[in-house]
Chain A
Amino acid sequence: NAGVTQTPKFRILKIGQSMTLQCAQDMNHNYMYWYRQDPGMGLKLIYYSVGAGITDKGEVPNGYNVSRSTTEDFPLRLELAAPSQTSVYFCASSTDRELNSPLHFGNGTRLTVT
């Protein structure tokens, strides 16, 4: 079972560069999420999606964009990287077929912007 797969695992960007963090899940989950994890701050929700073609902002969406053209994929785009975006990014998914179903997380992408 692949579950939630994130690529790349690590990336270093220069200020102003752009990149896309990839996320794919093979569990046919309708709900998908992007979180960022900063030391001592827990996880903050960036964007989420309740199904293909539907996305919405979370707590910290500025500087990011998402799309959800298929159920499986939920890429996160950084257009103009800034040092404040140095973080560990986690993608997660869950099913909408039961209330309070657990989130399944990928192993994360560690991004450094210098």
Chain B
Amino acid sequence: GNSVTQMEGPVTLSEEAFLTINCTYTATGYPSLFWYVQYPGEGLQLLLKATKADDKGSNKGFEATYRKETTSFHLEKGSVQVSDSAVYFCALSASNTGKLIFGQGTTLQVKP
């Protein structure tokens, strides 16, 4: 079946450090891939997405590239800020009903 695996957290970084959060997936066919972010006390919100192989999604300085050969969609940011502290979820969609399958989430804490 379809599944998403993320790197274990928490990830603790100093401000301006480089961020990578790994995400790999298992899916039949050609899923679309997403990163969602959850700030404390809130629901999830879309950060970026990619809908086909080699697409790069980007938003707010975050980037992720859809790599079909390695079934990966790693999230990167060149210089993190304290305000980026949140839980990040990788997800895939393999149906036309919008249903998402989520990874377990990775907590990022950025210290000043």
Contact = CB atoms under 8 A, between A and B. Distances in A.
A106 B43 contact: yes
B99 A45 contact: yes
Interface residues of B, number: 24
Interface in A8-42: 31, 33, 35, 40-42
A34 B86 CA distance: 22
A81 interface: no
B44 interface: yes
Contacts of A35: 102
B58 interface: no
Given A50-B97, A100-B51, A43 B102 contact: yes
A107 B102 contact: no
Contact of B99 (A40, A58, A102): A58
A42 B34 CA distance: 14
Interface string A76-102: 000000000000001010101001111
Interface string B1-35: 00010000000000000000000000000001010
A4 B89 contact: no
A108 B43 contact: yes
Contact of B98 (A40, A43, A94): A94
Contacts of A44: 102
A42 B102 contact: yes
Nearest to B93: A100
A6 to B, nearest CB: 8
A96 B97 CA distance: 8
A103 B44 contact: yes
21 contacts: A31-B97, A33-B98, A33-B99, A40-B104, A42-B4, A42-B103, A43-B44, A43-B89, A45-B101, A90-B44, A92-B44, A99-B96, A100-B49, A102-B45, A102-B46, A102-B49, A105-B43, A105-B44, A107-B41, A107-B43, A108-B42
Instruction: Give the top 6 A-B pairs by smallest Cβ distance, nearest first.
Output: A105-B43, A102-B46, A42-B102, A42-B104, A43-B102, A94-B98
Interface of A: 4, 31, 33, 35, 40-45, 48, 50, 58, 90, 92, 94, 96, 99-103, 105-108
